[in-house]
């Protein structure tokens, strides 16, 4: 199937383009971006022109930041195109619900992607936890914003989500693997005095579940989820790439293609072929609740 990438930035070049080019399901037929392009692929700077000029492209993958994404998704859906949304699927829950309603009315597929759910050991962790009683769960998600978003001031603007941009990856795994849902009960959000979104957050959930997100970790990436149960402790490390059960590392068990984004594109191909929609918003609900319930603490200014 022919697909167009809209928004040719770091995530598109690092993850989306290689995943599409390696997939037997997809042909990267066009891009649309104000600043970026892909060598050998037809490039547009105006999305309306792309939609008009290339009716043969039935699927678009939207990779730009979340704030402008709604208008592009709306235009694509109303033009009868299937839409794949980079995480988070929108700048607000209302936008996401509106897009789902439009997609159902137009009869097109819509996919809210959560790439961390496609990490190697997430399916195995979900399967192991399915019949367990969870007694405690904790997320530690620490990384450097300078490393992963160098100079990208939009992450600190309204709608950019701040530390929840990586933190929602952890929440997407948590909501996937826990055998019973949890809800937020409180939060402490640390805002640099010169920024509009938080640089760190501590979250408390029902079910003795908690999380710590921090974008100021300059030493190493720490992406870990620990779940204590009545049958022992499961730990997902490296963002779900490794699983440890009761201090013993487990080997990979699923046979899907290696890499999170190839698995996402395989899922999108299946959705289009089935005429289905996947708009699970559980991770975004937790983020919205954190902004609603969280206490605000002002911390030192941040500059790149």
Q: Which residues are catalytic?
A: 87
SS3 readout for the chain? CEEEEECCCHHHHHHHHHHHHHCCCCEEEEEECCCCCCCCCEEECCHHHHHHHCCCCCEEEECCCHHHHHHHHHHHHHCCCEEEECCCCCCCHHHHHHHHHHHHHHCCCEEECCHHHHCCCHHHHHHHHCCCCEEEEEEEEECEHHHHCCCCHHHHCCCCCCCHHHHHHHHHHHHHHCCCCCCEEEEEEEEECCCCCCCEEEEEECCCEEEEEECECCCCCEEEEEEEECCEEEEEEHHHCEEEECCEEECCCCCCCCCHHHHHHHHHHHHHHHCCCECCCHHHHHHHHHHHHEEEEEECCCCC
């Amino acid at each position: 199937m022919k697909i167009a990438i809209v928004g040719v930035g770091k995530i598109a070049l690092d993850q989306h383009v290689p995943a599409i080019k390696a997939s037997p399901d997809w042909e990267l037929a066009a891009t649309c971006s104000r600043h970026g392009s892909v060598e050998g692929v037809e490039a547009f700077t105006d999305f309306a022109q792309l939609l008009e000029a290339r009716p043969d492209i039935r699927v678009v993958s939207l990779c730009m930041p979340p704030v402008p994404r709604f208008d592009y998704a709306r235009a694509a859906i109303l033009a009868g195109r299937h839409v794949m949304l980079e995480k988070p699927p929108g700048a607000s829950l209302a936008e996401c619900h509106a897009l789902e309603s439009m997609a159902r009315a137009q009869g097109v597929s819509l996919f809210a992607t959560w790439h961390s759910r496609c990490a190697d050991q997430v399916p195995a962790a979900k399967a192991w936890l399915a019949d367990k009683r969870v007694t405690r769960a904790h997320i530690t998600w620490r990384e450097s914003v300078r490393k992963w978003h160098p100079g990208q001031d939009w992450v600190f603007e309204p709608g950019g989500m701040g530390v929840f941009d990586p933190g929602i990856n952890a929440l997407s795994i948590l909501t996937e693997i826990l055998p019973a849902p949890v809800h937020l009960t409180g939060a402490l959000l640390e805002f640099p005095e010169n920024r509009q979104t938080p640089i760190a957050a501590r979250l408390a959930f029902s079910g003795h579940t908690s999380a710590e997100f921090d974008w100021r970790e300059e030493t190493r990436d720490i992406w870990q989820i620990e779940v204590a149960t009545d049958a022992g402790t499961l730990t997902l490390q490296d963002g779900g790439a490794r699983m440890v059960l009761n201090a013993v590392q487990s080997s990979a068990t699923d046979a899907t293609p290696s890499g999170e984004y190839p698995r996402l594109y395989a899922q999108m191909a299946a959705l289009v072929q089935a005429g289905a929609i996947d708009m699970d918003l559980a991770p975004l609900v937790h983020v919205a609740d954190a902004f609603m319930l969280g206490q605000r603490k002002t911390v030192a200014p941040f500059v790149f």
